[in-house]
Structure 1
Amino acid sequence: MAGHAMNKAIRTFARPLLMLPMLALLAGCNMGGGGNASSQDATQGDLAGARIGAPFTLTNQDGAATSWDDFKGQYRLVYFGYTYCPDICPVDLQRIMQGFAQFEQARPALAAKVQPMLISVDPGRDTPAVLKTYVAAFHPRLIGLTGSPDQIAKVAKDFAVIYNKEESAGASDYLVSHSRTPYLFGPDGQPIALVPVDDPGTPDVDEGAPDKVRAFLEKWVK
C-alpha cells in the first residue's frame, strides 16, 4: 500500500475507533512523516479518554510470556515498530530512550515507575533472539515483544495501530508500513499522551529531541 493510501486508511480507521486528535496517528518508516500532537493542558494529556489498549500476552526478547497486566501500577511507554525498519523506527527509539535515560538520571525513583517497550509489527522476522540484540542497543530497560501474526494483528487493532507488509515482486526483502504512534499509558493502563517524536514536515523544529522527551516524562510521570 502506498503512503497516500495508507494515510487515507489511517484516517478512515481512526474516526470511529478513537476520540483522538488527527495528529495522533503518524506515518512511520517508509510512509513519510507526520506531525506531533502538542495541545495538552496541565492535567490531561492529548489521549485522555481515547479507547486505546487492551490486555495481551506476547513473547519478550528472552522468550518468556509477557502480559500487559504484568505492568499494572507502572507507566508504560509503548512504541510499535520493527527491527528491520531502515529509518524512522531506530531514530525514534534512539531519541526516546536517550530522553528516558536523561529522565532516569535526573529522577531515578520516577523513572523506575516507567516500563518502555517495543511491540513488533513484523512477527515473521522479529524473533525473540532478534529483538534481544536490537532492544539492548537502545537501553537496558527497553523490552521487545513479538508473537504470532494473529496475536500482533489483535494487539495492533486494540492499540489503534495500522501496519502493512509491502513486498516487491522478485524481492526477498520487504518493508512494513505502520502508523507512528508512541504512547504513554498510566499506571491504570489508560492512555495519557503521545510521546514526542520529530516531524519531518518541520525541518527547523526538533520536536523529538531527547530533552523534550525528558520534559514530557517529567510532566506526566508522578
Structure 2
Amino acid sequence: MALAEHERFVMSANFKLFASLFAPLLLAACGNAPSDNPMPAPPLYDSAVVGGFDLVDTQGKQVLDSDFAGKYQMIYFGYAYCPDVCPFDVQRMMQGYNLFTAEHPDLAGQIQPIFITVDPDRDTPDVVAEFTANFSEDLIGLTGSAEAIEAAAANYFAYYEKLEENSEGGYLMDHSRSGYLVDREGQPMALLSVEDSAQVVATELETWVR
C-alpha cells in the first residue's frame, strides 16, 4: 500500500473505530455498571485492530508479537527524535506501569512494555536503545524496515506521517498518541491514554490485567 493511501486509510479507519467503540462507552459511563459484572468487554475485541508485528530489537534480533504469548503487551508508536511528545507519553506509560506493578507485584512479570518507532530512517537499533534506556530497563524498543513499520502500524490502526524537512534536512513525524494494551493471546484489547497521566494508565491496567 502506498504511503499516502495508507495514511488516508488509517485516518479514516481510526475515526470510524473511535466513533463506533468509544461513543457507546461514554454513554454507558453515565449510568451505573451492573454490580455482578465488574469487568466490561474489552473495547478492541471484535474490532478491526488485529495487532501483530515482525520487527527487530536493539540487538538487531528479529522480534515477533507472538514472542510475548502468555504476557500482556503495552505498545506505543513514536520516535526517538520526538522533541516534546513521545518522551512524556512514554514516561507516563512507564510510570503507570510502575504504579500498577507496585500494587500488583504478582503481575509485574506478566506485562511487557514495548516502544515501536515510526521513524526507521533515523531510529537505528542503537538510537532506540539509547531512547528506551531513559525510561526503564523493562521497556523494549523495536525498529525495522519502512515496510515492516508500516505493516505494524496498520495492524494497530496507528497513524504516522513524515513532515516537511527543514533547510538542514531535519524533520518531525506526526503520529497518533494512544498506547495499546494487548492480551495474553496477542489480541489488542484496549487503548492506553498515555497522553493523560500515569494514574490513568495504571487505572486502565487495573481494569484489564488479570
The answer to whether the superposition gives a TM-score over 0.5 is yes
| Corresponding residue for residue 102 of structure 1 | 99
Higher helix share: 2
Deviating above 3 A after TM superposition, structure 1's stretches of 4 or more consecutive aligned residues are: 7-11, 22-25, 37-41
Counterpart of 1:210, as a letter, is A
Q: How many residues align?
A: 194
| Corresponding residue for residue 143 of structure 2 | 146
Alignment check: 8 A CA contact 2:11 2:159 kept: no
Quick one: distance in 2 between partners of 1:107 and 1:60?
A: 28
The CA deviation at 1:127 is: 0.6
Change (3 A) 1:87 1:24: farther
Quick one: distance in 2 between partners of 1:24 and 1:145?
A: 28
Change (3 A) 1:14 1:215: closer
Unaligned runs of 5+ in 2: 1-6, 34-38
Residues 1:177 and 2:174 are matched in the alignment: yes
Counterpart of 1:187, as a letter, is R
Residues 57-66 or 137-146, more deviating: 57-66
Q: Percent identity?
A: 37
Unaligned runs of 5+ in 1: 1-6, 26-36, 199-207
Residues 181-190 or 116-125, more deviating: 181-190
The CA deviation at 1:49 is: 1.7
Change (3 A) 1:11 1:66: closer
3-state SS, counterpart of residue 129 of structure 1: helix
Find 2:81's aligned residue among 81, 84, 88. Answer: 84
Quick one: distance in 2 between partners of 1:147 and 1:128?
A: 8
Quick one: distance in 2 between partners of 1:59 and 1:193?
A: 24
| Corresponding residue for residue 4 of structure 2 | none
The CA deviation at 1:211 is: 1.9
Quick one: distance in 2 between partners of 1:172 and 1:56?
A: 29
Change (3 A) 1:83 1:24: farther
* Deviation by residue 1:8-56 (Cα, 9 ceiling, x = unmatched): 87542436xx6x223989xxxxxxxxxxx86677321322222223443
3-state SS, counterpart of residue 172 of structure 2: strand
Instruction: Please give the residue correspondences for 1:143-222 in structure 2 after superposition, counting only pairs within 5 Å.
Output: 143-168=140-165, 170-198=167-195, 208-222=196-210
Change (3 A) 1:86 1:102: same
Quick one: distance in 2 between partners of 1:178 and 1:157?
A: 12
Counterpart of 2:84, as a letter, is D
The CA deviation at 1:170 is: 2.5
Counterpart of 1:212, as a letter, is V
Change (3 A) 1:49 1:9: closer
Residues 210-219 or 49-58, more deviating: 49-58
Give the RMSD, CA atoms, in angstroms. 2.6
Counterpart of 2:188, as a letter, is P
Quick one: distance in 2 between partners of 1:14 and 1:212?
A: 22
3-state SS, counterpart of residue 46 of structure 1: coil
Which structure's CA Rg is the greater one? 2
Alignment check: 8 A CA contact 2:59 2:125 kept: yes
Residues 1:52 and 2:49 are matched in the alignment: yes
Alignment check: 8 A CA contact 2:53 2:64 kept: yes
Change (3 A) 1:9 1:54: closer
Alignment check: 8 A CA contact 1:62 1:128 kept: yes
TM-score (norm 1): 0.78
| Corresponding residue for residue 123 of structure 2 | 126
Counterpart of 1:96, as a letter, is M
The CA deviation at 1:150 is: 1.1
